[in-house]
Amino acid sequence: MNPSIAITLGDPLGIGSEIVAKALQKKSIKNLAHWKIFGTSYDPSLSQKKAGFLSWDALNLAVTSIKKGECQALVTAPVSKTHLQLVGFPFPGQTEFLAHAFNTKQFAMMLAGPTLKVVLTTIHLPLAKVPKAITTALVLEKIKITHDSLKKWFGKSKPKIAVCGLNPHAGENGLFGNEEKLIILPAIRKAQKRGIKVTGPLPADTVFFEARCGKYDAVIAHYHDQGLGPLKTLHFDEGVNITLGLPILRTSPDHGCAFDIAGKNKANIQSIMEAIRLAVQSA
């Protein structure tokens, strides 16, 4: 029996409803599951504040449906963090909202493409605040979540994980910083003692290439652009945003609302199609 998948349409001033409608019309997609759609279709007459309210409302309705057992996975179209903030949305993004909604204390953001998977230690955090935010406990938490999720959702019986250094050359033995020795390496060693196959800290200027070539199943990066820069360079059109640690799998296209092309029938649907396929596979 086909699973039931919840899909939110995202910001109604963006391309969310367009990409969802196009994807579900594809023969390779439309019969994979039963689709339960939440949200408002594109409407350029809406104010930014109203668009933010409707985006938030769709997320709440989808979460309620999942908690009732009506849907087994969630796909979210892009939202505007700016529009959500206009109505008091108290979270940096959808990832943090969903973690709170499902009472999940330990979660992670993964960005996945055909040849590279990246997990972030910190997510939507100003770069100046990243060094103090990274702790041994936090890095260990992300390693464990990545390991468990690669086994559960991606069929990797013995996942191979790489961990980036924070500084250039992974600190170069303390020459360019001590976070690797004092914070990151202790987390890696603790994970290794638990039987997790994890390597690092490794220089971020080479590790993504090694992962793309198959040496690692996922790379843990410590801040947003450290991980998403390489991922989007390789898989800009087909990358998928995945929330790890939830009771269900949540996926999302790895792009924004694209307000500049909304309503023009120009949106690329490759990423949303990959997000939908992955959600179906997990259900």
**Residue 140 sits in the same domain as residue 257:** no
Report yes or no: 164 and 201 within 8 Å, Cβ to Cβ.
yes
Mean of pLDDT values over 103-110: 95
Asked whether residue 159 falls in the same domain as residue 253, the answer is no
Same domain, 114 and 221: yes
In this structure, are 201 and 89 located in the same domain? no
Work out the angle at residue 161's Cα, subtended by the Cα atoms of residues 156 and 163, and round it to the nearest 5 degrees: 160
Q: 216 and 126 in one domain?
A: yes
CA 106 to each of CA 100, 140, 142, 150, 199: distance values in angstroms, whole numbers, following the listed order: 10, 11, 8, 16, 21
Same-domain check for residues 81 and 155: no
pTM equals 0.92
Using CA atoms, how far apart are residues 134 and 65, in angstroms rounded to an integer? 35
Q: 137 and 56, same structural domain?
A: no
Q: What is the pLDDT of residues 200-250, one digit of tens each?
A: 999 999 999 999 999 999 999 999 999 999 999 999 989 999 999 999 999
State the pLDDT at residue 26.
95
Other Cβ atoms closer than 10 A to 271: 25
Q: Tell me the β-bridge partners of 242.
A: 110, 251
Q: Which two tokens stand for residue 73?
A: 């996975």
Q: Which amino acid is at 134?
A: I
In this structure, the strands spanning 117-120 and 108-112 are antiparallel
pLDDT in tens, 159-179: 999 999 999 999 888 889 899
Sheet with 4-8: strands ordered across:
34-38, 4-8, 73-76, 249-253, 240-244, 108-112, 117-120, 218-221, 160-164, 197-202
User: Do 125 and 234 lie in a common domain?
Assistant: yes
Number of domains in the chain: 2
pLDDT of residue 146: 98
Question: How far is the C-alpha of 220 from the C-alpha of 104, rounded, in Å?
Answer: 20
pLDDT in tens, 107-161: 999 999 999 999 999 998 999 999 999 999 999 999 999 999 999 999 999 999 9
Same domain, 22 and 51: yes
- Where residue 270 sits, what CATH number does that domain have? 3.40.718.10
Q: Which residue intervals of 155-269 are DSSP H helices?
A: 179, 185-193, 207-212, 224-235
| Domain that includes residue 189, residue range | 105-245
The answer to whether residues 196 and 272 belong to one domain is no
- Is residue 270 over pLDDT 90? yes
Predicted pLDDT of residue 91: 94
Question: What pLDDT does 226 receive?
Answer: 97
Question: 121 and 225: one domain?
Answer: yes
pLDDT of residue 261: 98
* Whether residues 112 and 237 fall in one domain: yes
| Gyration radius of the chain over CA positions | 19
Report the sign of the C-alpha dihedral through residues 214, 209, 249, 184, in that order: positive
* Predicted local confidence at residue 124, as pLDDT: 86
What is the rounded average pLDDT of the residues 255-280? 96
pLDDT tens digit sequence for 41-69: 999 999 999 999 999 999 999 999 999 99
Give the pLDDT score at 1.
79
